[in-house]
């Protein structure tokens, strides 16, 4: 789903209007409360949040021990907590050792300390980046996970080169729509960039951001359409649902293609190892949290350049008030807007 619009706050810096999760469970456990923020350390920044990004991982954390992180309880937040890592807004205060941003700067953040579903959030300065004037706060809230993951997958893990044929298997979500735009820039204007979606609205969204071809992955014969478009296969494939689609990706891959797994359920699947051998295909995992500090810095420097020159325009699928956080969590997992969300 798109970002949550935060109401402006005239309260003291140490206070925030925030969504609190006081018990794990469904979307209904999220409620808006006044909460006190911790004092800034020397390396931290206080951001007046104008919009918060909503990502699927936010819903997994909210589910707690009953969700996808059941096997990794150390990754779950301590209750109560405020959801959200991504957001955009204006710097309101900085720690004594912060020199890269200043009070009044427009910024986006990628890993807020206190959660971005709030009027204000405390952030480490290293996770706060300048937001170009051409980029709205709502768009800025869509950068941290979706756009950074897309670029990290294509450029660093996928080694996308000019002229490569690209297929984004599941392109109508936030990561996919960003990936289509970035692939178009990185592979070149004449390169084949194909994407799939599950609805006609999703296909239209994929085409609208620059794809050469959009297919419906729920339709019988969509693989035939892709094979006709790329008889020699695709050189880079981004996969959002690997536990279902990885065998299909292997059938669509070119010689020495790179398949990047961006998303998958934790399920065992059956694969014939010969499929890897015959085409000498590489299958690589993509987990943004594992990127090195140098890679993270390079990703965000590149994203800023793309935002400024217009190569990347984050797609905002839906905007809701802070009080509608439960609706945002339902939408990000099952979009009502035809499968297209940003």
Kindly report, residue by residue over 228-282, the tens digit of the pLDDT: 999 999 999 999 988 888 999 999 999 999 999 998 887 888 888 888 888 999 9
Is there a contact between 234 and 257 (Cβ–Cβ < 8 Å)? yes
Tokens 């294509």, residue located: 154
Q: pLDDT at position 333, please?
A: 84
How many residues are listed for the chain in this entry? 342
Give CA angle at 51 (53, 241), nearest 5°.
15
Burial of 216 (0-12, 13-18, 19+ CB in 10 A): middle
DSSP 3-state of 70: helix
Q: Using alpha carbons, select from 295, 286, 182, 278 the residue that is nearest to residue 240.
A: 286
Is there a contact between 173 and 337 (Cβ–Cβ < 8 Å)? no
The two beta strands, 4-5 and 15-21, are unpaired
CA dist 183 and 100 (Å) reads 30
Q: Using alpha carbons, select from 281, 262, 265 the residue that is nearest to residue 273.
A: 281
Spans of the chain, pLDDT less than 70: 1-14, 335-342
Q: pLDDT at position 9, please?
A: 39
Q: Using alpha carbons, select from 56, 2, 63, 5 the residue that is nearest to residue 30.
A: 63
């Amino acid at each position: 789903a798109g970002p949550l619009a935060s109401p402006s706050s005239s309260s003291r810096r140490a206070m925030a209007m925030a969504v609190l999760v006081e018990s794990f469970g469904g979307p209904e456990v999220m409620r808006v409360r006044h909460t006190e923020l911790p004092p800034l350390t020397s390396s931290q920044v206080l951001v007046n949040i104008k919009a918060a990004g909503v990502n699927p991982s936010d819903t997994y954390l909210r589910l707690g021990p009953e969700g996808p992180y059941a096997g990794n309880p150390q990754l779950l937040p301590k209750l109560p907590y405020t959801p959200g890592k991504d957001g955009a807004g204006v710097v309101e205060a900085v720690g004594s050792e912060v020199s890269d941003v200043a009070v009044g700067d427009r910024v986006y953040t990628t890993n807020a300390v206190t959660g971005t579903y709030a009027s204000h959030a405390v952030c480490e300065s290293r996770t706060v980046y300048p937001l170009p004037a051409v980029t709205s706060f709502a768009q800025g809230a869509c950068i941290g996970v979706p756009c950074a993951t897309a670029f990290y997958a294509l450029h660093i893990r996928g080694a996308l080169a000019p002229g490569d044929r690209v297929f984004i298997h599941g392109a109508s979500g936030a990561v996919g729509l960003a990936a289509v735009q970035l692939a178009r820039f990185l592979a070149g204007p004449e390169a084949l960039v194909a994407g799939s979606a599950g609805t006609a609205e999703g296909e239209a969204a994929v085409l609208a951001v620059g794809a050469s071809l959009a297919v419906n992955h729920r339709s019988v014969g969509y693989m035939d359409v892709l094979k006709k478009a790329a008889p020699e296969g695709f050189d880079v494939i981004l996969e959002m649902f690997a536990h279902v689609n990885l065998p299909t990706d292997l059938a669509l891959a070119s010689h020495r293609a790179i398949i990047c797994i961006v998303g998958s359920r934790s399920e065992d699947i059956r694969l014939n190892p010969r499929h890897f051998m015959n085409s000498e295909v590489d299958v690589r995992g993509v987990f943004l949290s594992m990127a090195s500090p140098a890679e993270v810095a390079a990703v965000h420097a590149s994203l800023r350049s793309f935002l400024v020159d217009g190569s990347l325009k984050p797609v905002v699928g839906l905007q809701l008030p802070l009080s509608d956080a439960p609706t945002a969590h339902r939408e990000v997992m099952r979009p009502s807007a035809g499968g297209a969300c940003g």
